[in-house]
Structure 1
Amino acid sequence: MKSSRSITTILLVTLFLAFFLGSASAQEPVELQWLLIKFWPEYDDPSLLVIIDGELATPGSELRIPLPADAELNAVATAESSGRLLVNDWREETTADGKRILVFSPQFPVFRVEYYTPLAINGDQRIVDFELPAGYLSTNEANIEALLPPSSKDIELDPPADEQGPTQDEVHLFQRTVGEVKDQAIRQKITYVNASGALTVPETASSSGALLQPTPPPAEETQDKTATGITGNPWILLLGVAALLLIVGGAVGLWLTRETDENEALPAASPAPKIKRKKRSASTTIRASQSNLDRYCRNCGREFGPDDRYCRYCGAKRQTVP
């Protein structure tokens, strides 16, 4: 019975530790000084170009940015103090539910991410429906910018833009202040009509061609490791830790069970032999008590001298003469 309770206690402690480790390993949002998300549909390609610019609040932090399943990564860069963009190392991970996560540590605080994703088309209507999930980036200053082709009409933004107006190239530019982003997702929907299908810059091969060369994809070996390894799937790490704790808990429980069984198998200890003590005779006890009483006066309680027959303090006669 005791061994069963011990094993149950160990299993409960193990499950608690596994839950605690899982909670502790949860990803905390990376703090940014500012964040700017740009949407350039039909810019130099019939798809949507998404540009994410920002600045780390703590240089050297690792960024984790979710990517759409059909995204084609164009560039991952960091900016020097002069503003010149440099290609930055990166890797891609896959979560347990199949989501793509871009992971990189910018060499300098300012960074840029560019990717293309298919643009939803319904006849002449184009639809941009973007969402950056909560829990990845945190900032007090977030903004959104949309740059639409000159031939765009019937433009609607949800949430609406704060500012809008054509630039010198007659493209349609919209800006929206998002403000503080802590524990909420960033969403933006844009619909417009482009009957001609004309691009903003049809002659440009890449939106960042003059600024940044496209980032080469990571090596195949790295992709395999991040997609299927422990780093790419945090649940595997969590399950591994839980399994290890269960093994340790089971071993301790087995040891306690064996200790209990061995203790139960041992013969009961023999009671210690009783020591026979020699009883004092009643006469001896009485004589000792009587002798003790004869030393003191029964009237005042004072002690007699060795040869006193009467009490020196009250005069009472001593009962027994020594």
Structure 2
Amino acid sequence: MSIKSNFSGFIWSPAKKFKDEILEHINKKFPVLHYYTYDFKNKEEFKNSVLDIYTTDDISPEKVENIKIKNMLNHSLSYTYFQFYIKEPKFRKKHKTNNNISTSVENIKKQIRQIYKSKVTNYIYDIIIHISDNFKQTKDIDIIMKKYEKHRKQEFVNLKYFLKCNFRNNVFNRADMLVRKHSIENYLKDEKFNFLMYKKMQKIRVNGDGNVYVNKFKNLIKSIKKNGFINSYPIIYSSNYQLTDGSHRLSIYFLFNKTFIPVYNDIKKSILKYKRLPSEYSINWFIKKNFTKNELSIIENEIKNLKKYLNLP
């Protein structure tokens, strides 16, 4: 989805511990595509970034600095920047400026403030969340945030959005991930599951010992079951959220239906590792590699279920 039709939002530091809840709340109504966590070590840079963000709005800089930022400085020098999509923004004209403002945005901000204002220490109005009024503000904010990229610590993307980005011409390019998902699902049901299709795939892909890969995979599954998901091990993508590394972890995220997943854009590392952009592993790859009729049927069924999960035709 183009930034031209998205909205930008910020969850400020006074509401930091409710970040996940707030994003889940918004995502149930409007898809949150991705979000970034920012952390500043310097008060001046933090203050300047917030002032810059509010230049897109009609609030006075003095009010931002003397009320909002003054309150924020009692908390961590951090915030979460996210983008989400509203199919029907329902714009009205803002009285002060005659600019467009989305009534859908107004309503979601009102809901969040109502839910969390009693939970935030020393709450003052509009210290929980800020969202762009219209698409122009989103574009302007995106330009502003490029100035502060060095303070960006982590990136998370909506799992459904990430998976959709790995379709091309209605063909899913990473069916290998679905073989992994199918294998985990069956292993969790029966620890004696043989991983035959997975081993066959790995043998063809990387010419490695299938048993070694199976043992590593089992250890990963056990680790996640015991310790949960660790955000410091992100999924690597090259551009436009094209998966390049982390397919095993992605398959587990998918199986457990995680809303957001940690990701990292490292196209240089990806090209260095693969000597090219990563290969595509669509159903056509499995056909060309002479997988059996039964194996292809399993993969096709997994693709069908994936499309249903993503509401794709």
State the TM-score, normalizing by the size of structure 2.
0.27
State the TM-score, normalizing by the size of structure 1.
0.27
Larger radius of gyration: 1
More helix by share: 2
More strand by share: 1
